[in-house]
Amino acid sequence: MDDLVEKIGQCVERGKINKTSPYPSDMKGLDGADELTRQALDAAVGPDLILQACNDGMKRIGAKFSRNEVFVPELLMAAKAMKAVMAHLKPFFQSGSVKAKGKFIIGTVAGDLHDIGKNLVAMVVEGNGWEVIDLGVDVKPTKFIEAIKVNPGCAVGLSALLTTTMANMSKTVEEIRAQFPTIKVIVGGAPVTMEAALKMGANGYSPNPQGAVAFLDEVNVPG
């Protein structure tokens, strides 16, 4: 059983989605995250143990990414493998037998249609045990506010790629702060810096998905 769980974590770290996936080349033809997770659940392995293996795999690939040992394509493949695991675990989250660490609302701010960075953060955060509510792109402040009302006690992530939409990010943080002063907000994206994040009133900033996970684990927002 332990070996099976460990293999799931390795598949997530290496980005091995399923048996038919040709990536990575040295694991071609082997069972991937999809098949191994199904086997583990059929063998009555606890979904919480599978989730922990998934978390560990994402942490390892995230650490490698932070050290520039792997790059965005490898991180994306790991996130896809993690998504294959999460497809099997979602029913356990919905039934309450596995509890998420908390809720994380994320979206690209108004006026910005870029979503690659946002999607990557969403996938990595979900793989680390958080329930993610992805609002998409070009998200106006009112939509963030409505989502927060429906998900009390959540944390919020704002993404922007365009320098021209930084003002919209700042306005969104301001409106969230006005109505929900205790909500934890993290911001990120190419034009964003820690200095800019603090100036607009955000609680945190990260240039990469693993930093967002570290921030969320630190604030430990209850679900």
pTM: 0.79
Higher pLDDT, 105 or 67: 105
How do residues 6-35 score in pLDDT, each as one tens digit? 999 999 999 999 999 999 999 999 999 999
Higher pLDDT, 170 or 128: 170
- Which CATH number is associated with domain 103-219? 3.40.50.280
- Which CATH number is associated with domain 2-95? 1.10.1240.10
Strand 155-159 relative to strand 204-205, pairing = unpaired
| Annotated domain spans of the chain | 2-95, 103-219
How do residues 129-138 score in pLDDT, each as one tens digit? 889 999 999 9
Q: In sequence order, which residues have a C-beta less than 8 Å from that of residue 106 and are 6 or more positions away?
A: 118, 121, 122, 125, 132, 133, 134, 135, 156, 157, 158, 159
- Whole-number pLDDT of residue 223: 46
- Whole-number pLDDT of residue 1: 67
Same fold, 2-95 and 103-219: no
At residue 76 the predicted structure's pLDDT band, cuts being 50, 70 and 90, is: confident
Q: What is the mean pLDDT of residues 183-192?
A: 95
- 76-100 in b/e form (b: 16+ CB < 10 A) is bbbbbbbbbbbebbeebbeeeebee
- Whole-number pLDDT of residue 221: 56
User: In whole numbers, what is the pLDDT of the chain averaged over residues?
Assistant: 92
How do residues 143-170 score in pLDDT, each as one tens digit? 999 999 999 999 999 999 999 999 999 9
